[in-house]
Chains A and B, each alone.
Chain A
Amino acid sequence: MKRKLIAAIGVAGMMVGIAACGSDDGKGGSTDAGGNKTLTVWVMDGSAPDAWIKNVNKEFEAKHKGVKVKVEIQQWNGIQEKVTTALSEDTPPDVLELGNTQTAGYAATGGLADLTEDKAKLGADGWNKGMLASNELDGKLYSAPWYAANRVVVYDKAAFKKAGVTPPKTRAEWIAGLKKLKASDPKSQPIYLPGQSWYVYAGFVWDEGGDLAVKDGDKWKGNLSSPEAVAAMNFYKELQSYSTAPKDKDEATPQQSTDIVPKGGVASWIGLGWEAGGAIDAMKKVKKTADFGYFPIPGKTADKPGSVFFGGSNLAVSERSPNKDLAKEWLALAAGKEHMAKYAEATQGALLPNNDAAQFKPAAGSFAEAMAQAASVGKITPVTPGWANVETAPNPIKDYMTKVLKGEDAKKAGEAADKVITERVNQQ
């Protein structure tokens, strides 16, 4: 649960200097004796580059005399219950970051302030349409998109060169390349792909034209047993057969970027910007040089890359905040075009800002460049309040994947998983 895969800082170096500007001036939200107000902002560990958020707050405090912004970094461990309970308090955090797959779940509770009226102020016109979707529920706006990121294939240039493989454009080329890699170095893994990388699998489902869950009247139902999803799973299985990664683990147990890749023997893997950064860093520590290349996950045909899950975060204002107006002001400032451009710059384009106009021009051959190519086909999980329940451990999609990889029939296992998904997705 701790990684809700909001993507995060792309540049590994940045992980060190995460915003530590929280000052300990007691309770958030309320007005003190001198009429000074404190605005409390919750951001997740690793989301906000230190210098960037300090800059935002400096500008904000200059504009609003007597207001102090207190940034509190939240850990992933136990965050859902923490946010849920916090939203029920009288002095909740005024502004808080929510994972994009989780936002609808909170929006439906009445715990988030309705921002529909403030669209203009927040600059909604310029927002990336793909990112906007997760912020809306039943036609109302409950949060502002902040950033998003998607996965690309990271490869070891030397290994690819040795095997005579170039970045593939189609799935067929991809598999052919993996075969060559295997032949050229039987001891290495052509690709490291654990059995439960379900966001990668979701991309394959979208490629086939299916979805993880579909609307069925006014209800939702799980859709893993659909022919599209079965085809996607079979492709995943084929791909996974080139890896010796555990079939019952996801990419974070053990952490592929820091625990697996630096040890060598991995020709390619699918990861986010911060993972690539983390791997480069970890390799530096053991005196190895990472020579990574990046390419978007290949699509079925060469004309467009494979679909990818658009992980990201939104910023919401809590309904019970005593400083709602101030909170909205802060939101408008931080998620506004100007500061988002700085955000994109601070993250070297490894995170996509909410506004295309704020996009940072990524360097050639960088992770960001590959990511931007795939961003046009970025998608998110079904936008419905119940989706958060599906993702919560034990995630039925992950269990399903493991079962199929261990030999169960994809359709049959899919039917069993659909039952659980249907039950969970319709719960509030």
Chain B
Amino acid sequence: MTVDSQGAVSAAPQDAPGSEAGTPKTPPPPSGSKHVLQPPRGRRSLPHGTLPYLLIGPAVLSMAVLLLYPLVRNVILSFQQVNRKELITRKPEWIGVENYTELLGDSAFWTVVVRSVVFTAANVVLIMVIGTLIGLLLNRLGTKMRLLLSLSLMLAWAMPIVASVTVFRWLFDEQFGVVNWLMRSLGLEGYEQHNWFETGFSTLVIVMILLVWGSIPFVALNMYAALTTVGTELYEAAKMDGASGWRTFWSVVFPNLKPFFLITTFLEIIWIFKAFAQVYAMNLGGPDRESETLPVFAYIEGQGQAHYGLAAAISVLTIVMLIAAMSFYFRLILKQEEEQ
């Protein structure tokens, strides 16, 4: 923890609050003993240990009512047959695990699962790598160029999804695409009417460009801001020691920003895995259903065919898979929690 004493006051780990009674700086455990420190004004009447529950009460309550309860209902729904008829007559039919057996026995479902996992992994790797690089670049640019680049990143971030999907579809359009025009202008053959959505793979590559384009600003701008908290002294020190840029990154930047990478990767995995509008709107999961990811599959087989119970089952399986995949993350983050 030698590094922490330099610069970056606000982000230095040992400020960690409410932490265990290990470090001398740490205040005594909150609620109880704090009251002793406190002048005898107000708040005294609070029963011991109630305060935290009062504080988390509204959050817990609202999440229980508007998230947990619907989720439970969603699980219930996944054991029912609710198609158009059942929805309209309001008479769901219990069918046990039929929705699940249907899915788990469907090879198309597994194809989509594998595709989604690979697709998410490819996206997240690209987003994190390029995002980090751009963040590093931002940190090294002069004021003017930095402003220009961050403004451009912000524009990309602020663009509504409806519009960005439409524009990307145009850019890669077979007849009127800017990309085909660019290729032609560069003198390349075969782009008179090149179809960029010819296969599921090529479609997913274009969706990936869209997703990476849309997600990088979040990573890059945060990366840049995180870098500013690392403190220049560290770089200088590393440079003095003759470390290469690569070395500096691994030995100075990365360890300091590990929590940042942890959280950002976690969020990106979730966001990309759940991305629906971008994938669906690009080519409706086509051609021939080859660019469907799990959310698109859920939409097409569920809502599209008015099989709401089935859609619920897909979503439950999705959550289970996500939790399984992320359990590693949960453990890491909880461990960090304990360290505080």
Residues of A whose CB lies within 8 Å of any CB of B are 1, 80-81, 84-85, 87-88, 105-106, 108-111, 244, 246-249, 254, 259-260, 389, 392-394, 399, 402-403, 424, 427-428
Contacts and interface: CB of A to CB of B under 8 A. Distances in A.
Contact of B195 (A81, A85, A248, A259): A248
A87 B286 contact: no
A301 to B, nearest CB: 35
Interface residues of B, number: 27
Contacts of A85: 87
14 contacts: A80-B306, A81-B303, A84-B88, A109-B89, A110-B89, A248-B195, A248-B198, A254-B175, A254-B176, A389-B305, A393-B304, A394-B288, A424-B305, A428-B83
Contacts of B306: 80-81, 84, 389
B84 A402 contact: no
A138 B79 CA distance: 31
B131 interface: no
B288 A111 contact: no
A172 to B, nearest CB: 29
B300 interface: yes
A244 B89 contact: no
A244 B193 contact: yes
B286 A399 contact: yes
Summarize B's interface: helix, strand, loop or mixed.
loop
Given A246-B193, A402-B288, 13 more contacts: A81-B303, A84-B88, A84-B306, A88-B88, A244-B193, A246-B195, A248-B195, A249-B174, A260-B175, A392-B305, A393-B304, A402-B287, A428-B83
Nearest to A395: B284
B90 interface: yes
Interface of B: 83-85, 87-90, 173-176, 193, 195, 197-198, 284-289, 300, 303-307
A88 B85 CA distance: 9
A198 to B, nearest CB: 14
Could you tell me the dominant secondary structure of chain A's interface residues? Answer: loop
Contacts, number: 73
Contact of A87 (B88, B289, B307): B88
B286 A394 contact: yes
B88 A111 contact: yes
Contacts of A105: 84
A394 B305 contact: no
A110 B289 contact: no
Contact of A109 (B84, B174, B193): B84
Most chain A CB inside 10 Å of its own CB: which residue of B88, B193, B305 = B88
A84 B86 CA distance: 10
Contact of A248 (B88, B285, B286): B286
A246 B285 CA distance: 17
Nearest to A87: B88
Contacts of B285: 393-394
A394 B195 contact: no
Contact of A254 (B173, B193, B304): B173
Contacts of A87: 88
B305 A110 contact: no
Contacts of A260: 175
Contacts of A402: 287-288
Contacts of A248: 195, 197-198, 286-287
Contact of A246 (B174, B286, B300): B174
B88 A109 contact: yes
A87 B199 CA distance: 39
B85 A399 contact: no
Given A88-B90, A248-B287, A424-B305, A393 B300 contact: yes
Given A84-B84, A246-B174, A254-B175, A393 B193 contact: no
Nearest to A423: B305
Contacts of B288: 394, 399, 402-403
